[in-house]
């Protein structure tokens, strides 16, 4: 039996057959979909005698920090959630869960579960795991502490009554790399608060290098962002850049374990080692060097998140990265990008650095032209927007719908079958500097403008399922039987939204004129770094 047992719920240990973006299945309403869908699409990470051979990156960081801080190797285990019984016993002092969305209060889940009226899959699996742990505790008469941490820990603290019923002893909120050993010892000795708010952040040298393989070959290249969007917790943290040699060490570790992939994780990959903190013009040389280093170890190199303004600010950087990773018609680079809203007013109010080095007034132009730069170089942006930003108007929301229509039209005219993007509307969640606002509940709060925003985003997604999914399927034969189902599902969602809107008195057929925007990359100003002037 093990002193410290680290684990997570099963939605974070599923590979989902390596289908892109299917990781979001955890956000789907468990009580509204056939249960066979979840069983069919679930494929769990391998383990050796209950020990995860790959694990979510956050768990690996906690493991590495504890080992650095004096815990012995045989005292700490990263266990598969289905096999935790093997490790919990009389010697166990802490069972700690790393969670992303334990109560289903995340933006994607709140959108897919009708404002939380239904129960998402992640919450179902989290509750199942906690109940199993409590049964073990009761059956064996054990006295360990049950701890929840990770990016979603705030949800457990927010739902205090449910937390008490689940008998969760401690909730840890914040980055713990620099205090992990002290924190766990305080919990063991009973000297820790029930809710532990970690003050400050670890310096770069206090962030440990992982000691065992991470899920999908995830490696962190920076913490925080620096753009300071008011609704976003990570963006409010001090930006810290992981040295190239530490990133390389983690990639090597994963590759030696047989993981032929490097997911470069950040809030904005184009801000890696950025020096221009006023205009956020990318440090293109540093970003390119990062991709060149990763490509030496694996042909499969992907970023997780990036800002469209950074891509547009230096198209030569995007072109060079595409060359490095050999992007092309059969190998697209996926990236998650914040679209948020088309409204210059809302962007300027809540995200006044997001569009830099451009201005809030240029934001719709930036989205159109930035997508052009990405698509031209075989990057596929998966955009997210926010429904219900405080103070939004129907004019703001209709402008977002019109921009989606504009992007679809202009990009297809310019790039034909190379034009690809998705837009997924998410519910506003009161986080960051907007914690005093209320959750957006779509069923109660939706306006006509928000409906048009939602409807046109899903109409475009339906088109992308028809046009873009066959390209994705080439690299994953598992998807081929599901193509007809995906097309049908997307069409049914659009039909349902249309019917739902009409029932509320909204007109889905209202003619929306495209915005007066054009793709004019070559004619607009640039902010090149000297070494890349010749790139474009």
Here the tokens at position 292 are 């060149």
Go through 289-323 and write b for each residue having 16 or more CB atoms within 10 A of its CB, e for each that does not.
ebbebbbebbebbbbbbbbbbbbbbbbbbbbbbbe
What is the model's pLDDT at position 110?
Answer: 87
What is the model's pLDDT at position 439?
Answer: 85
User: Which CATH superfamily groups domain 216-535?
Assistant: tm_1862 like domain (3.80.30.20)
- Residue 471 near residue 419 (C-beta atoms within 8 A): no
Q: What is the DSSP string of 168-225?
A: --EEEES--TTTHHHHHHHHHTT-S-SEEE--S---GGGSPPPSSPBGGGEEE-EE--
What is the model's pLDDT at position 534?
Answer: 41
What is the model's pLDDT at position 256?
Answer: 97
Here the tokens at position 145 are 């502490």
CA-based max dimension of the chain: 72
pLDDT digits (tens, 9 = 90+) for 193-234: 999 999 889 999 999 999 999 999 999 999 988 776 655 665
Q: Which helix (H) or strand (E) holds 424?
A: strand 422-427
- Residue 234 near residue 224 (C-beta atoms within 8 A): yes
What is the model's pLDDT at position 432?
Answer: 59
What is the model's pLDDT at position 179?
Answer: 97
What is the model's pLDDT at position 77?
Answer: 98
What is the model's pLDDT at position 330?
Answer: 87
Here the tokens at position 399 are 């402008």
pLDDT digits (tens, 9 = 90+) for 432-477: 556 677 888 888 899 999 999 999 999 999 899 888 666 655 666 6
What is the model's pLDDT at position 437?
Answer: 77
Q: Which helix (H) or strand (E) holds 313?
A: helix 308-313
Residue ranges of the domains in the chain?
4-197, 216-535
What is the model's pLDDT at position 125?
Answer: 97
Q: What is the DSSP string of 119-170?
A: -BHHHHHHHHHHHHHHHHHHHHT--PEEEEESTTHHHHHHSHHHHHHTT--E
- Residue 9 near residue 102 (C-beta atoms within 8 A): yes
Q: What is the distance between the alpha carbons of residues 218 and 304, in angstroms, rounded to a whole number?
A: 9
- Residue 206 near residue 189 (C-beta atoms within 8 A): no
Strands (E), 221-300: 222-223, 240-241, 262-265
Which stretches in the chain have pLDDT values below 70? 20, 228-237, 431-435, 468-488, 522-536
Here the tokens at position 324 are 């490095």
Q: How many CA atoms lie within 13 A of 115 on its CB side?
A: 11
Q: What is the distance between the alpha carbons of residues 61 and 56, in angstroms, rounded to a whole number?
A: 9
- 180-188 helix and 57-68 helix, angle to the nearest 10 degrees: 80
Ramachandran region, residue 209 (left: φ > 0; alpha: ψ -120 to 50; beta: rest): beta
| pTM of this prediction exceeds 0.85 | yes
pLDDT digits (tens, 9 = 90+) for 484-493: 666 667 788 8
């Amino acid at each position: 039996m093990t002193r410290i047992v680290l684990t997570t719920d099963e939605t974070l240990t599923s590979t989902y057959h390596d289908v892109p973006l299917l990781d979001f299945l955890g956000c789907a309403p468990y009580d509204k979909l056939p249960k066979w869908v979840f069983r069919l699409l679930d494929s769990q990470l391998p383990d050796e005698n209950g020990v995860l051979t790959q694990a979510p990156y956050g768990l690996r960081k906690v493991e590495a920090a504890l080992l650095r801080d004096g815990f012995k190797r045989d005292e700490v285990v990263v266990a598969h959630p289905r096999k935790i019984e093997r490790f919990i016993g009389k010697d166990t002092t802490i069972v700690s869960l790393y969670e992303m969305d334990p109560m289903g209060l995340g933006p994607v889940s709140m959108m897919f579960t009708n404002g939380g009226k239904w129960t998402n899959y992640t919450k179902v699996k989290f509750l199942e795991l906690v109940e199993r742990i409590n049964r073990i505790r009761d059956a064996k008469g054990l006295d360990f502490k049950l701890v929840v941490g990770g990016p979603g820990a705030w949800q457990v603290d927010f739902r205090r009554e449910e937390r008490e019923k689940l008998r969760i002893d401690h909730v840890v909120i914040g980055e713990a790399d620099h205090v992990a050993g002290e924190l766990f010892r305080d919990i063991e000795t009973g000297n820790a608060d029930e809710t532990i708010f970690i003050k400050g952040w670890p310096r770069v040298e206090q962030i440990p290098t992982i000691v065992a393989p991470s899920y999908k070959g995830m490696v962190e290249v920076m913490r925080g962002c620096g753009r300071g969007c008011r609704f976003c917790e990570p963006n409010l943290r001090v930006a810290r850049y992981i040295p190239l040699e530490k990133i390389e060490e983690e990639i090597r570790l994963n590759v030696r374990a047989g993981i032929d992939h490097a997911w470069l994780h950040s809030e904005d990959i184009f801000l890696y080692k950025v020096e221009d903190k006023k205009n956020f013009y990318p440090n293109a040389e540093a970003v390119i060097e990062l991709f060149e280093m990763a490509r030496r170890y694996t042909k499969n190199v992907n970023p997780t998140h990036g800002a469209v303004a950074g891509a547009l600010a230096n198209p030569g950087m995007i072109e060079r990265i595409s060359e490095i990773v050999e992007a092309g018609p059969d190998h697209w680079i996926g990236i998650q990008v914040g679209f948020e809203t088309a409204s210059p007013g809302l962007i300027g109010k809540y995200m006044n650095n997001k569009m830099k080095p451009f201005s809030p007034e240029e934001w719709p132009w930036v989205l159109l032209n930035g997508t052009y730069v990405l698509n031209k170089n075989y990057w596929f942006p998966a955009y997210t927007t926010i429904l219900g930003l405080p103070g939004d108007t129907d004019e703001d929301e209709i402008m977002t719908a019109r921009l989606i229509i504009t992007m679809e039209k202009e990009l297809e005219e310019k790039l034909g079958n190379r034009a690809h993007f998705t837009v997924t509307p998410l519910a506003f969640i009161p986080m960051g500097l907007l914690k005093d606002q209320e959750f957006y509940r779509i069923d109660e709060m939706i306006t006509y403008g928000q409906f048009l925003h939602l409807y046109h985003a899903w109409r475009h997604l339906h088109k992308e399922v028809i046009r873009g999914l066959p390209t994705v399927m080439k690299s994953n034969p598992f998807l081929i039987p599901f193509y007809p189902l995906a097309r049908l599902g997307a069409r049914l969602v659009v039909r349902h939204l249309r019917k739902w809107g009409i029932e509320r008195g909204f007109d889905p057929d209202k003619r929306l004129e495209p915005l007066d925007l054009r793709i004019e990359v070559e004619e607009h100003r640039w902010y090149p770094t000297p070494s890349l002037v010749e790139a474009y």
